[in-house]
């Protein structure tokens, strides 16, 4: 059955891949994006499709959001302030966009009974040290004096809001906690490590590893993440629940830099930069970040279709073609 999807942040990194998949499936797709961090070129090829429409507007425009929601069955809410760099540099914008934006989407969806999938983040686990992170683990957020935690807190508020709309009004809400996601068209402009390292390696510049490089992450391919989103949006038992979405292939950031140098055949070396210089004084990073994906595996049979090396090679090929 053809469904009508409204994708907020539809021209962002995950948004544009999601729009492509849904359009390919023959669904009716409307993307709304204010292009603050999204880019028109991400959705350029889609604009000719008769089942795709792009609206350049902020989700804070209540009239437009109301009109688009009234025509949607499912809203996938990806619009948010993204990137640790941006978040540290502009905390007011981060809090406003993430909290007020999500409240606007939920209140409007509630008027029309749309299903809403909310994009949250592994940041909500904060400084939690018992990896892998399970959805019902405690959230250990750092002090309010550090801007980084404003992002984690804003996403936690989004989750509380979404689950509150579900419990209080019966609005069908699903919360998705994305872990690090990589793929074509992700920009390094807002701090994401993989596109930054790949560009540095291809240009023969030093790869800048922040801190000692022993911190770890798991990088999921955007194709796997998008497939999980689509399946969750279709599954009735996902409603009212929180799901981790990510890869379990763990790598240190120094190991990632070495892998990218090897895969690109670059002559670049690795340079360590203290966190204080990379971000802001007192910056706190997560030492390990690994999701438990048992819950999403049980519900939709989620598993990674792409290894880290395969994903990195795709990103390298893409970045090479753009240089
Ligand atoms: N990082 C790095 N060099 C960069 C960008 C990021 O060493 O140019 C590190 C960052 O400090 C973190 C990890 O790579 O430990 C992942 O950073 P990213 O911003 O991609 O995602 P995060 O997991 O922090 O949200």
3-state secondary structure of 21: helix
pLDDT digits (tens, 9 = 90+) for 62-90: 999 999 999 999 999 999 988 777 888 88
Nearest-CA residue for ligand 1 atom 8 is 193
Nearest Cα to 270, choosing from 171, 200, 168? 200
DSSP label of 281: T
Active-site residues: which are they? 151
What percentage of the chain exceeds 90 in pLDDT?
87
pLDDT on residue 111: 98
Testing ligand 1's pocket by substitution, the residue of 190, 210, 285 carrying the most ligand atoms inside 8 A of its CB is 210
Q: What value does the mean pLDDT take over residues 82-100?
A: 86
pLDDT on residue 147: 82
Integer Cα distance of 100 and 7 in angstroms: 17
Cβ(74)–Cβ(45) below 8 Å:
no
Cβ(8)–Cβ(76) below 8 Å:
yes
pLDDT digits (tens, 9 = 90+) for 21-33: 999 999 999 999 9
Closest ligand 1 atom to residue 285 Cα is 15
pLDDT digits (tens, 9 = 90+) for 225-276: 999 999 999 999 999 999 999 999 999 999 999 999 999 999 999 999 999 9
The beta strand positions in the chain, using DSSP E, are 4-8, 28-33, 52-56, 74-77, 115-121, 173-178, 181-182, 207-210, 216-218, 220-221, 242-245, 250-252, 270-273
Q: How far is the CA of 201 from the centre of ligand 1 (A)?
A: 16
pLDDT on residue 98: 93
| Token duo for residue 304 | 């990674």
Integer Cα distance of 230 and 238 in angstroms: 11
Nearest Cα to 122, choosing from 285, 300, 301? 285
Q: How far is the CA of 231 from the centre of ligand 1 (A)?
A: 29
Closest ligand 1 atom to residue 200 Cα is 8
Q: Where are the alpha helices (DSSP H) in 42-129?
A: 62-70, 84-89, 91-95, 101-112
pLDDT on residue 128: 87
Q: What is the mean pLDDT of the chain?
A: 95
Q: How far is the CA of 222 from the centre of ligand 1 (A)?
A: 17
pLDDT on residue 94: 87
pLDDT on residue 86: 80
Q: What value does the mean pLDDT take over residues 7-28?
A: 98
Closest ligand 1 atom to residue 196 Cα is 8
Closest ligand 1 atom to residue 286 Cα is 15
pLDDT on residue 93: 87
pLDDT digits (tens, 9 = 90+) for 110-168: 999 999 999 999 999 999 888 999 999 999 999 998 888 999 999 999 999 999 999 99
pLDDT on residue 83: 77
Q: Which residues line ligand 1 (CB under 6 A)?
A: 84, 180, 191-193, 196, 208-210, 215, 217, 253, 285
Nearest-CA residue for ligand 1 atom 3 is 209
Q: Residue 208: which pLDDT band, with cuts at 50, 70 and 90?
A: very high
Q: Give the chain's domains with CATH numbers.
A: 4-182+220-247 (3.40.50.720)
Testing ligand 1's pocket by substitution, the residue of 220, 246, 253, 315 carrying the most ligand atoms inside 8 A of its CB is 253
Nearest Cα to 97, choosing from 8, 178, 187? 8
pLDDT on residue 114: 98
Q: Residue 179: which pLDDT band, with cuts at 50, 70 and 90?
A: very high
Nearest Cα to 6, choosing from 56, 68, 59, 50? 68
Nearest-CA residue for ligand 1 atom 24 is 84
């Amino acid at each position: 059955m053809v469904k009508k999807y409204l994708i907020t942040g539809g021209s962002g990194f995950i948004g544009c891949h999601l729009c492509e998949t849904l359009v390919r499936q023959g669904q009716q797709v409307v993307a709304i994006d204010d292009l603050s961090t999204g880019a028109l070129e991400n959705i350029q090829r889609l604009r000719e499709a008769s089942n795709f429409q792009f609206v350049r507007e902020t989700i804070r425009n209540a009239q437009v959001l109301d009109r688009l929601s009234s025509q949607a069955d499912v809203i996938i809410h990806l619009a948010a302030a993204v990137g640790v760099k941006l978040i540290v540099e502009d905390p007011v914008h981060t809090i406003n966009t993430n909290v007020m934006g999500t409240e606007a989407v939920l209140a409007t969806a509630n008027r029309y009974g749309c299903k809403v999938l909310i994009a949250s983040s592994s940041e909500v686990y904060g400084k939690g040290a018992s990896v892998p992170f399970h959805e019902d683990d405690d959230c250990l957020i750092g002090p309010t004096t550090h801007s980084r935690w404003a992002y984690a807190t804003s996403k936690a508020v989004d989750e509380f809001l979404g689950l509150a709309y579900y419990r209080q009004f019966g609005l069908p809400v699903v919360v998705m906690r994305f872990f690090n996601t990589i793929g074509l068209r992700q920009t390094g402009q807002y701090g994401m490590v993989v596109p930054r390292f790949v560009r540095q390696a291809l240009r023969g510049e030093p790869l800048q590893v922040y801190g000692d490089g022993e911190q770890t992450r798991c990088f999921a391919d955007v194709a796997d993440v998008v497939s999980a989103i689509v399946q969750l949006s279709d599954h009735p038992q996902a409603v009212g629940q929180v799901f981790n979405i990510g890869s379990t292939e763990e790598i240190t950031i120094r190991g990632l830099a070495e892998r990218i140098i090897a895969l690109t055949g670059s002559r670049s070396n690795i340079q360590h930069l203290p966190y204080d210089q990379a971000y802001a004084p007192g910056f706190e990073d997560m030492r390990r970040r690994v999701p438990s994906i048992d819950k999403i595996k049980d519900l939709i049979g989620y598993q990674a279709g792409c290894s880290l090396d395969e994903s990195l090679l795709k990103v390298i090929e893409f970045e090479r073609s753009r240089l």
